[in-house]
Every structure is written in C-alpha cells, then in structure tokens.
Amino acid sequence: MLGFLARRLALAAGTVAAVVILTFTLVHLAPGTPMLGDPERTLVSPETIARQRALFGLDRPLPAQLARYARNLLTGELGESFTLHRPVARVLADALPNTLLLGGTALLLALVLGLAVGALQALRHPSLWDTALSAASLVLYSVPLFWLGLLLLLVFGQELRWLPISGMSDPTLRETLSPLGRALDVARHLVLPAATLGLVQGAAFARFQRSALIESLGAEFVRAARAKGLPERLVVLRHALRHALAPTITLAGLSIPYLLAGSVLVESVFGWPGLGRVAYDAILSRDYNVVTACALVTGILVAFGNLAADVGIAAADPRVRLEQ
Amino acid sequence: MVIATTGDADVLLPPVTTTTLGSNVADRIFCRLAELTLDLNTVDDSGFRPVLARSWEHRDSTTMVFHLDPRARWEDGAPVTAADVAFTFAVYRDPAVNAPLAPNLAAIDSVTAPDSATAVFRFRRWYPEQLYDATYHMRILPKHLLDTIPRARLASSEFGRHPVGDGPYRFVDWQAGTQITLAADSSWFLGRPHIARLAWRIIPDLQAAVSALLAGEADAMELIPSRNQLERVQDDPEIRLVPYASPFYAGIVFNLRRPPFSDREVRRAIAMVLDRGTIVQSVFGRFADVAAGATSPMQWIWSDSVRQLPLDTAAAAKALAARGWRLAQGRPVRIRAGVPLRFTLLVPTSSQVRQQAAVIVQDELRRLGVEMRIQPVEFTVMERRTVGGDFDAAFVSRTIDPSPASLLQFWGAGESNIGRYASPAFDSLAAAASRARSRAEAGPLWRRALEQLNEDAPAVFVFSPRNNAAVGLQLENVSIRPDDWLATVSEWRVRAASDRGRERAAGR
C-alpha cells in the first residue's frame, strides 16, 4: 500500500510539473498581451504599459521567465498578479476554499443523488419508473451547465424569490448575523450553484450506477448470496451494491476536473468567488502568474482525486489490490 | 444601497486603479480639491464646486493657489493639508508608481505647500483648463500614511486594499470577487451622506446581475450594455431607468500606415456608404445615437450639427472608381492593378454589439464592392495588434474625459493614435480650441476640429450608447454625472417607506 502511494505520488508530482511548464509556456505563447490597463475605459499610454511590463519582467525572453518562475516556485513563491496587484498565493487562498466548498457540496449531492436514483432504477428494472428516471437523467446530463444555472436562477431566485441569486452572503445582513446565522446564510447562497453542478453530475452517476447494479444483481456471487438465504436487503447492500460502486467511485475521481471546469461557468452565473472565476478572468487578461498557479492547483486536485478514487475502489472491492 | 456590478476591483488607490469598480469605490473614499458640476464645463472656473479646497485663485497666468478647507479630515482624524496635495502630485508623477493618468498632469510643473492650508500649482504655460487639470485627475492622498511605502509597491500595498480616505464614505470590507462595502462617514465635513452604506455586489454574468436587480437583491446598476437586458429592466415596476449622457463612443479606426487606408478618398468612400442610422437602429434600437464624431454626448462640444460626410453610395462608388478601384463584369470585389479592395476588421469577442454592427457594415460594404473580413479576437490580442500597428481596421470603443482635449490624445501625435492619423489642419484647430478662454470661443473651434476628422475619415464613428442607470424606486434625489455616475451619491436618499429594508439592515 505504501509503495503504491509513493509511486503514485511521484507520478502525480511529475504530471503536475509537466502541467505547470506546459501551461506557463502556452499562456506566454498565446496571442495577446497581459492587460495592464483597459484602454477602452482609461487611456493608459503604451509607455506606461511598457514600464509595467518591465517591472514584472515580461520583457525578458521566455526561457528566462520560465527559469525565474521555476526558481520562485521551488521556494514556494507564486509571484504577483499583474492585474490584481496581489500575491498570487493570497488570491488563491481567497478563492480555493470557496471552490472546494462548492465542488465538494456538488460532488456529495451528485453521489447521493446518483447512487439513490441509480439504485432505485436498477431495483425497479424494468419498469415505468426506470424508464422515466432514465429519460430524466439523460435530459439533465445533456443540459448545458450555464443554461441550467440561469434557469434555476430565474425560477428560484428571480420569480419565486426562495433563494438568493448571487454571492456567498447577504452584503447588508452579514455583519448583523451570528456565526451560525452566517453559516446558514452561506448555505442558502450555496444551494443554487451546488444544485446546478450536482444535478448534472448526479445524472451521470445515476446512469453508471444503474447499469453497474443491474449487472451485479445478475452476477453469480449475488445468486450465491441469495441461495445462502440472505435477506434481499443484505444481498443488495452488502454484495451487489458494494460491487457496483466501483464505476461510480472511478467516475467521482474523474469528475473533479469536470467540477473544476464547470465551476468556471457556475461561479460566473451565481457570482460565487471561486477558483474558476479567478482562472477565467486571469486567462482573459493574460495574468500569466495566476493562470499558471491555477493550473498548478488544479493539477494537484485532479491527481489527488484520481488517487482517492483508486483507494476508494480498493476499499469497496476487496478483490482489487493496489499494488497491482 | 446594494449596487450590482459585473467586475471586481483591482486596487482601491486612485493613482493606480484601472478598473471601473476600483474607481467607483475609491472615488467615494478620496476627494478632489474641487469637483465638476453636472454640466461638465471644463473650460472656465465656473464649472467647479469646492470640495477639499474652500477657494482658489489664479495668482498669475501660470500659478494657481488653492486654500484648503480647515474642516477636512482624514478618517484617522489628521487634517488634510497642503503637504498632502504636494505629496499626491509627486505620487502621480512618479514613474515608479506608473499612474495611468500621469500624462494628463504634464502641464503642471510643480505643486508646493507654503503653509498647511495653501497649495500652489505652477503650470508650464497658460491655458484655460488649468483648474480642470489641477483638480480632475488627482484625488488627494494621505501623506502621513503613504510616505513610508516605496512608490513602486504602492499598488500592491495593504493600504490599497484597506484605504483610509477623506471622503463621504469609509472603507468597511472587501471580499475578493464578492463584494465591497463602504459606510457613510457621519462626521464628513461637507455633511453626512443620506445613504448609510454602499455595497457593491460582484456578479460577472450580466443576465444574472440584472436578475439580482429584478429580484430585489440589488438596488442599482451603473449601466446595462445590452438591449435585451435593458428591456427586462424597463418592464419592472420597482425599477426605473435614469438616462444620462454617455462617455463612450465606438468606431472603425483605419490603419493609415497601410493601403488602401493610406488613401484618404478610399476612407471617405467607405464612410459615405455606411448607413450608421440603420446600424444603430438594428443593434441598439433607441438605446444609442449615431456618433457625431470623435466625441460623446457627455462632452459639451457634442452637437448634432457637426458636419459629417453624407450617406451617398453613388458618390462613394464614383470616388473609388476615380482612384482606380473598379468593378469588373461579374466580379463582386473592386480591383486595382490586380489587387482586390479587401481588408480585415478586428472586433473584440467581448463586445457582442460591435460584432453585430460589424456584420451589417460587412453587408453594406459588399454592395460597394469592398470585401471586409471580420476577425473576432480576444481583447488582449486586439490591444496588442492595434498598439503594434498590426491591423487594417479595428472596431474600437473609447471612454473619454469630460475635456475635449481628449481629442488630441487619440488623434494627435502619440502612441494612442493607433491609426497614425496626422493632419496639420486638425492639429492647428485643436491647438486653437485648447487656448480659447471660454466655451463660447472654444466650442466652434472644437466642432471644426471634429468636422476636420469627419472629412479626413481616419475612422468611421459609428455609435455612442445612451446610458441608463437602473435604480430602485425607493431611491430619491438621484442625479447622475456622466463621467462618474456616483459623483452625487452622498445626496441620494432612500424613501422612508421603502419596503426593501436594506437601510434598516444597515443600521439606520
């Protein structure tokens, strides 16, 4: 187990380093220039911009910039944002917890929803329920995130006014609330963005879970369990469902990039101040240091997600040996 | 009052902020010596009202003296002094700070503080907009809090995220990417603002921002740059649109370094074939005007009577033929010496309206036998290519200052003149207008300069949007100064019977 973890961590470190170098190079080679001022809003003279470029070392050759970035990175220094005038580490420290909260909640919601709906469909297969839920999950899975977010926002935020539309907290009430009140306020603001991400991902989980459980329920070991006279509840929960979890766990691990990418859209629609928005704005304004740091963090999260999925599968299915 | 906005701020320090929100917030925290009144008369002193300076006088043709209001205080209780004014000028002019507005202060030679209540500005020459330049481009900074910070680190200093000012509002909180909150300074020397709190809520998606407004989560929005979204707001009984003159104009700038636009007659022919009224009507409906020239309705020189090239397709075709650009039988594009009359128009992907307008322009030019390719590019790419001269034509937008002198920034000598237009006639008219002592004298000269630009057609000035601020009906006494929509916010009021409850929540 430890050997497996060490190998995978070494592999992950190599992958993340490659992602960082590739991102740094690509973003510098991309057409455009760091937006050190908005000339359509404030007249910033080209001379001013040239001075700013020199200040950030952007006038040096690309290999020199990369070498400097790598040196800084090894000492834990992520540089400064050109556009936000802040250390990149602080920009990420502000945004990352929000994205983890949103993505984590959405993943949890998707797992609960996907497992429950998938299991219900498999146990009722074939039936009208199964058909109806299959159709519903297919529709949800096909819906563009952006569109679903706007739809939920219009219905539950603007029309029914049940839930807040944007941000993480009420700007005027926040200071008057107790710590518990603030937590509940954040939870209320979390509902719509997490539901948007979680519903789409949950639909995918449900489809996989349904297929896997149907297959498990017809497998030899399930028939043997039934033949032993085990109650049906135990047959399903202890044998069939446990075996059928592997595809969903794998998918959950692989869904981390999807959740991070989806958070770009969802965070924009709901004004959620997370990493996705930071990365999106940084790409548009060619804020190289922030883009590269976002790639670094995303790479680490994805590597961690895959590793966690492998460990999870081994825990769910004793036939899987991590050393293999 | 909660204000919905689509972009976060970069820093809340006036010399270095380059974002709309950064300016909107910092401008409530830091004051100028004097403020323009609503009619934005930049030429003579009658267009200004005192703020930090209680009064001012022209000692001679190149010296202005400002007498500071002794009641003005920084948030920490320290008085606002002439030393702060001199320090502010030094900060703005310091190349290490790299203040975007520093070039606007080039005519000021020095600022000194003979005593704590008197600031003396010395100019390099006499000109009518001395008061405007001395007051408009700088917001006074606290020397005692900033002079220990290295100038090159000012933008990234903690002060830029937790500013201490002398304005009607004090900084409370900035949650990156979410919201910025200010509270009214109850002891502000010019009177406590009526609205207790200002909170900017950052919602990047325009449709979601408008939904927040319609759902009552926000009380106001600066402008809504989309016809569909404006119409959504217009139908809401709890919100009203407050129109105000726009500080923007947009147009197609030609690169005069390159053929065919090095030829004045080709540019004029293209300008004469574009039906800008139809373009504006199709894209904006009634929410924009055809641009009268390189100005916007915000500037006092704007006039519908500024002479423009006529819409005359026949004359345009004739002019092109006279320059050798002829349409061969059965060919859609004019050719001269084997070279087709075609060019590429850069349009930023961030502007849906300019992309829509470009398609109509393309269609109208096709009828003249001119092939225009539309190349949508990211904003940063467009910026790089236009500044570097790597373009045929670009659909650009400009936000201009209240002063007509901004004409010289974009069309006079300098790097910001991206098409490299050069005209002694224009330069001479603009220089004469800059020296005129009154609006009555300067107005005709500036308008002739605009007409010269229209005649030479270094660009086709297509539209200037009609700005509308959206404000909840609970807000009263709302007036908007076009260059800074919240300039008068300390005079806005919330109706006592308002059911939105935000003022109560804010402790009033």
Interface contact flag, B203 A271, Cβ < 8 Å: yes
Query: From the candidates B20, B25, B93, B98, which should be mutated to test the interface with A, based on the most A CB atoms within 10 A?
Result: B98
Interface contact flag, A278 B177, Cβ < 8 Å: yes
Q: Is B383 on the interface with A (CB under 8 A)?
A: yes
A96 CA to chain B: closest CA distance, Å?
12
- Searching chain B, which residue's CA lies closest to the CA of residue A170? B217
A262 CA to chain B: closest CA distance, Å?
15
Q: Is B235 on the interface with A (CB under 8 A)?
A: no
Cis-peptide into B15, omega within 30 deg: no
Interface contact flag, A43 B406, Cβ < 8 Å: yes
Interface contact flag, B201 A166, Cβ < 8 Å: yes
For residue A262, pLDDT beyond 90: no
Q: Which of A78-92, B71-85, B291-305, B409-423 has maximum average pLDDT?
A: B71-85
- How far is Cα A17 from Cα A191, in angstroms, rounded to an integer? 35
A182 CA to chain B: closest CA distance, Å?
14
A25 CA to chain B: closest CA distance, Å?
17
- Searching chain B, which residue's CA lies closest to the CA of residue A163? B215
Query: From the candidates A43, A47, A270, A283, which should be mutated to test the interface with B, based on the most B CB atoms within 10 A?
Result: A43
Count A/B contacts: CB-CB distance under 8 Å.
169
DSSP state of B128: T
Q: Is B20 on the interface with A (CB under 8 A)?
A: yes
- Decide: helix, strand or coil at residue B25: helix
- Better-scored residue on pLDDT, B414 or B433: B433
Percent of chain A past pLDDT 90, that is, above it, reads: 26
Split at pLDDT 50, 70, 90, the class of B504 is: very low
pLDDT tens track for B288-301: 999 999 999 999 99
- How far is Cα B98 from Cα A85, in angstroms, rounded to an integer? 13
- How far is Cα A301 from Cα B330, in angstroms, rounded to an integer? 61
User: In this structure, how many other beta carbons lie within 10 angstroms of the beta carbon of residue B495?
Assistant: 14
Task: Write the residue in B155, B177, B378 that is nearest to A85 by C-beta.
Answer: B155
Query: From the candidates B20, B153, B203, which should be mutated to test the interface with A, based on the most A CB atoms within 10 A?
Result: B203
Residue from B457, B444, B449, B411 nearest B428 by CA: B449
pLDDT for position B106? 92
Interface contact flag, B208 A270, Cβ < 8 Å: yes
* Mean pLDDT, residues A273-293: 90
DSSP state of B6: S
pLDDT tens track for A152-206: 999 998 888 899 988 888 877 777 788 898 899 999 999 999 999 999 989 988 9
Of A238-252, B28-42, B449-463, least confident by mean pLDDT is A238-252
- How far is Cα B68 from Cα B72, in angstroms, rounded to an integer? 8
- Searching chain A, which residue's CA lies closest to the CA of residue B350? A284
pLDDT for position B505? 42
Interface contact flag, A158 B215, Cβ < 8 Å: yes
pLDDT for position B497? 60
Residue from A316, A195, A200 nearest A258 by CA: A200
pLDDT for position A33? 75
Residue from A241, A244, A205, A239 nearest A224 by CA: A239
Split at pLDDT 50, 70, 90, the class of A321 is: low
Q: Which residues of B touch A38 (CB under 8 A)?
A: 18-19
**Token pair for residue A112?**
């609960």
Q: Find tokens 């940063």 and name the residue.
A: B380
Interface contact flag, A273 B175, Cβ < 8 Å: yes
Q: Which residues of B touch A278 (CB under 8 A)?
A: 177
Q: Which amino acid is at A224?
A: A
Q: Which amino acid is at B3?
A: I
Interface contact flag, B399 A40, Cβ < 8 Å: yes
Interface contact flag, A32 B378, Cβ < 8 Å: yes
Interface contact flag, B208 A150, Cβ < 8 Å: yes
Of B324-328, B412-416, B466-470, least confident by mean pLDDT is B412-416
Query: From the candidates B217, B375, B415, which should be mutated to test the interface with A, based on the most A CB atoms within 10 A?
Result: B217
B417 CA to chain A: closest CA distance, Å?
10
Complex ipTM: 0.77
pLDDT for position A18? 92
Task: Write the residue in A32, A85, A158 that is nearest to B380 by C-beta.
Answer: A32
Q: Is B209 on the interface with A (CB under 8 A)?
A: yes
DSSP state of B481: B
pLDDT tens track for B230-282: 888 988 999 999 999 988 999 999 999 999 999 999 999 999 999 999 999 99
pLDDT for position A7? 84
- Better-scored residue on pLDDT, B327 or B112: B112
Interface contact flag, A86 B378, Cβ < 8 Å: no
- Better-scored residue on pLDDT, B188 or A125: B188
Residues 67-96 of B with CB under 8 A from A: 95
pLDDT for position A324? 47
Interface contact flag, B201 A44, Cβ < 8 Å: no
Of A244-258, B133-147, B253-267, B279-293, least confident by mean pLDDT is A244-258
Output the CA–CA distances (angstroms, integers) from residue B496 to A75, A164, A208, in the order listed. Answer: 57, 25, 57
Q: Is B322 on the interface with A (CB under 8 A)?
A: no
A66 CA to chain B: closest CA distance, Å?
21
Q: Is B187 on the interface with A (CB under 8 A)?
A: no
Percent of chain B past pLDDT 70, that is, above it, reads: 98
Q: At what angle do helices A179-217 and A145-152 cross, to 10 degrees?
A: 130
Percent of chain B past pLDDT 90, that is, above it, reads: 75
Q: Is B211 on the interface with A (CB under 8 A)?
A: yes
Residue from A87, A83, A29 nearest A61 by CA: A29
Residue from B284, B301, B302 nearest B292 by CA: B302
Find the length of chain A: 324
- Model pTM score: 0.85
- Decide: helix, strand or coil at residue B228: helix
* Mean pLDDT, residues B38-46: 87
Interface contact flag, B215 A157, Cβ < 8 Å: yes
Q: Provide Rg for chain B, Cα atoms.
A: 24
- Searching chain B, which residue's CA lies closest to the CA of residue A150? B208
For residue B39, pLDDT beyond 80: yes
Split at pLDDT 50, 70, 90, the class of B506 is: very low
- Decide: helix, strand or coil at residue A25: helix
Split at pLDDT 50, 70, 90, the class of B328 is: confident
Interface contact flag, A273 B176, Cβ < 8 Å: yes
Output the CA–CA distances (angstroms, integers) from residue A309 to A106, A250, A260, A304, B12, in the order listed. Answer: 17, 5, 17, 9, 44
pLDDT for position B507? 41
pLDDT tens track for B430-471: 999 999 988 899 999 999 999 999 999 999 999 998 899 999
Spatial CB neighbours of B186, under 8 Å, sequence gap ≥ 6: B192
pLDDT tens track for A75-119: 989 998 988 889 999 999 999 999 999 999 999 999 999 999 988
B418 CA to chain A: closest CA distance, Å?
10
pLDDT for position A311? 80
**Token pair for residue A119?**
């299991």
Interface contact flag, B383 A44, Cβ < 8 Å: no
Q: Which residues of A touch B160 (CB under 8 A)?
A: 85
The CB-side HSE value for B458 (13 A sphere, CA atoms) comes to 22
B287 CA to chain A: closest CA distance, Å?
20
Q: Which residues of B touch A35 (CB under 8 A)?
A: 379-380, 383
